[in-house]
Amino acid sequence: MSKLSLHRPRALERPDSLQWDAPSHALERWADMPQAAEADDPNTISIYDVIGQDYWSGGGFTAKRMAAALRAVGASDVTVNINSPGGDMFEGLAIYNLLAEHPGAVNVRVMGLAASAASVIAMAGDMIEMGLGSFLMIHNAWGVVVGNQNDMREAADVFAQFDSAMADIYVHRSGASKKDVEKWMDAETFMSAGDAIEKGLATGTFAAPAGKGETKASADLSARRRLDAILAKQGMPRTERRKLLREATGMRDAAGSDTPRAVIDPALVASLISTLRS
């Protein structure tokens, strides 16, 4: 696919009341995915984290990080490996645009999961290859809004604009009608490699390399991801989940402002934290 044919959505302004998050179902599936090994090729960029800055973990993949990686690659062709549950839709759109503007060919490889904002990033590939057993997930814009009725209306307007921008990207890539794409997004659709190829959102498959052997660090990371996914599924906002996870792991508070605490099952959380600490 020629870079000239990629859809280029305009930038959108971020409301102050909006806090980004990844969908709970995507977090849950991502937590169960094996960790992919980092590539040795200097022209390969790995996105193996949530999209956007994650102050809790000191990680997250941002547009700034992508811009720096592309500067290092220069005008050469680049491979982008993705295993991400998504996250900040503003950052995802910015990363998509950076890849769309890259002068060299962009080969995207879905190593495990490309969900939400990460699925938008994947659409910037000249080739979009999916490992057997990997998934692509598309849905409507997702986030948490804190504020009064005016803040809610402003965020809803921005979400609607994002839904339209994402739908246009998927439509342009797949050749499907916007009505069909909107149905996929409304249904929060997970697609296997075969499904994505059939729908025109992927171009082929590849034999994914084996994941990393499990170490204590990777087991701890997997446990934290599972706990994060369970808490998200129960409706706890991201900032509250981060606070709880910091308390569970003894990490220093580095998050932003708090949000109202959601109603959850304290016994379940206590049991999960106990397992995490052991």
- Name the active-site residue from 24, 46, 116, 134: 116
Active site residue 174: no
DSSP-assigned states of every residue in the chain: --GGGS--PPP-PPPTTEEE---HHHHHHHHTSPPPPPP--TTEEEE-S-BS-BTTTTB-B-HHHHHHHHHHHTTS-EEEEEEE--B-HHHHHHHHHHHHH-SS-EEEEEEEEEETHHHHHHTT-SEEEEETT-EEEE-S--EEE-S-HHHHHHHHHHHHHHHHHHHHHHHHHH---HHHHHHHHHTTEEEEHHHHHHHTS--EEE-PPPPPPP-HHHHHHHHHHHHHHHHHHTT--HHHHHHHHHHHHTPPP------PPPP--HHHHHHHHHHHH-
Active site residue 134: no
- Name the active-site residue from 24, 57, 134, 139: 139
Contact predicate 228/241, CB 8 Å = yes
Cα atoms found within 13 Å of the Cα of residue 187, Cβ hemisphere only: 9
Structure-token pair, residue 245: 């996870």
Contact predicate 228/246, CB 8 Å = no
What residues are labeled active site? 116, 139
